[in-house]
A and B are shown apart, each in its own frame.
Chain A
Amino acid sequence: MSEIKNTSLKTPPTIPQRWRIYGYRLFGDIGGLGFILRLIVLLVFAIYFVVPIFWLALAPSKDQFAITTLNPLAFGSWETVLKSWQNINAYQHGAIWLWFTNSIVYVVSSLLIGLAISIPAGYALAIARFPGRKLLLWLTLITMLLPPSAMVLPLFMELNLVHLVNTAWAVILPASFFPFGVYLTYVYYSTTLPSDLLEAARVDGCSEWEFFRHIALPLAKPVIGLLAFISFNANWNNFFGPYVMLNNDKLFNLPVGLQTMIASTSAIKPGFNTTPGLLKFQQADVALAALIMIVPVVIVFLFSQRYVISGALTGSVKG
């Protein structure tokens, strides 16, 4: 860059030189071809990630005829949206809203309990060198990798022993165990918290708890935002646990409820629309139900977006 500038000051730049200057201004140091290649790759993936969402948002507006005849990305009619809305609400007298409320209760409870136990643990693993620390890290990793299918039966028997099966606690408590959160907090603190800071605070007579509460915890805001989102997302979509633990449909969460709702209709079967479903459910209804399930995640995402995608791990890889 500096070379180009120097020569351009001495004599008026030649045409190729001028193009290089323009090129640099426009594309930076990745070059014209690189700029275009990069853009193409990024946009192709944008289509892959966004178009299905866009389609899903439009699907409730199309009835069975429109969904196959209209352009996939065209809007149908508000009438169909309204009809789908009524169909969904009619299902078991608005059961979907009960499941929705259950989901919120389960998710918020396990989020709060999970963060309250995970963040102090990850913090301590990162700053203190105590006997058993490596063992705990290994156990955290192992429990992170445990297959849910292997855990479901022992968990079921365990919770059955204390008569918690088929209660909200059977969903909330196992979901509050959040080794991934401990692990990410550990990585975050062990790479971002300057040990000088801790020593200085100790010299000033700051207790361990005060240091955590007033210095470490505020520092962890980005990672807490990220973890809150991950926990919310994972538990909102938790299907396997509640599916096994609950048999009272009044306690179902939204994924399990939706699953029974979809399974009891013929909306999703090969050779669509050959037989009308039990409740005359159609693709539009099912798509609207799926949208209802997605909306809260998107709202939470928009609120925690700053933490989730703005480099929550800034400073964690030292050059």
Chain B
Amino acid sequence: MSNLASQTPRRTSWKWRRNLSAYLFILPYFLFMLVFGIFPGLYAFLISFAKFVGGVPRYFAAGFSNYVTAFTDFRFGFTMGNILKFLVISVPLGIALVVLLALLLHMRPGRLSSTLRTLYFIPAAITGPALMLLAIFMFTPQMSPFGPTLRGIGYDNFDSVISPATLPLIFTIIGFFAGAGMWIAIQYGALEGISHEVTEAATIDGCSAWQKTLHIKLPLIRPYINYQLILILAGNVQLFVEPQLLGTTWVNANVPAQWSPNQLAYNFAFGLGNFGAASALSLLMLAIGLGAAYVVIRWTGFFDIKS
């Protein structure tokens, strides 16, 4: 903007018109973002400082007491510990396996590779109640096609498979089943985008397929791996549907009613009517997701990927 003055008036108006048309292209999205993204987000922030008297919010009346209520709740440490265990397992494992499979598929593109990508993708069709239903069947040794495997590692019945110690891994296995195909497709797409000149030059220099994969392809898809890292981390912090369906509706055995922080927030809001504490908890999860996003973006200059 600062060098506008030095430009000819004609150029200025041209630029102004260009900006105007950009704004017009964005306007509908911006309105939706205000109404369904920013406003509810800010309102959640407001609610986290509100005191509810007979269901009527009194803003700023609560100070930080909602935060204190949420963070000192007897389930807070338990649910945070659970989600931490889940993140430690699911994020590195999920990203490593997705990248590994995409790289392996891309080593020899062909009919096998494209068939396998389709097969890996199909479970993406299953989420929500249908996914949990399938998971319950798969983890029941009496019915599961993986029954022999489950028995082989010492699990004879459903209640021993689904136990407090195994839950983080169980949710990882379920999440990877339904989510990996999409990410494999995205990472494979990124690999397809690597220019052939680069890989051919490496071949001429005597690089084996494995060296090319490790030293050329992997570094080049870094932006997409970062992107996946942000979304997987922020998404997994919010784990809700799986423990909720497994715990409260179908199988009460070994899954507590509130296993993840998001379930605790839901319980605060719709179980206890404490919307302030629910918002405080949700904002904590948002802060974790945003913090991770900020670190990754600053660290990698993500918004600067330009042709």
Contacts and interface: CB of A to CB of B under 8 A. Distances in A.
Given A72-B143, A290-B134, A212 B129 contact: no
Given A49-B119, A72-B145, A125-B26, A191 B241 contact: no
A38 B21 CA distance: 50
B61 interface: no
B265 interface: yes
A121 B306 contact: no
A293 interface: yes
Interface string A72-95: 110000000000000000000000
A56 interface: yes
A217 B223 CA distance: 25
Contacts of A146: 37, 40-41, 286
B3 to A, nearest CB: 13
Contact of A294 (B126, B224, B262, B266): B126
Nearest to B144: A72
Classify the interface of chain B: helix, strand, loop or mixed.
Answer: helix
B305 A293 contact: no
Given A49-B177, A147-B282, A309 B108 contact: no
B293 to A, nearest CB: 6
Classify the interface of chain A: helix, strand, loop or mixed.
Answer: helix
Interface residues of B, number: 117
Interface in B246-290: 249-253, 262, 265-266, 269, 275, 278-279, 282-283, 285-286, 289-290
Contacts of B112: 42
Nearest to B121: A309
Contact of B37 (A143, A237, A287): A143
Contacts of A191: 193, 305-307
Closest 10 CB pairs of A and B: A150-B282, A311-B192, A143-B37, A121-B29, A313-B189, A154-B40, A297-B125, A319-B195, A128-B22, A124-B25
Given A146-B286, A147-B238, A209-B21, 20 more contacts: A29-B209, A45-B120, A48-B177, A52-B138, A55-B144, A117-B32, A123-B25, A128-B19, A154-B40, A177-B36, A192-B307, A239-B241, A255-B128, A259-B249, A309-B117, A313-B224, A316-B193, A317-B190, A318-B195, A318-B307
Interface of A: 28-31, 34, 38, 41-42, 45-46, 48-56, 59, 67-68, 72-73, 116-118, 120-121, 123-125, 127-128, 130-131, 134, 136-137, 139-155, 157-158, 173-174, 176-177, 179, 182, 187, 190-195, 208-209, 212, 230, 233, 237, 239-240, 255, 258-259, 262-263, 268-270, 283, 286-287, 290, 293-294, 297-298, 301, 305, 308-319
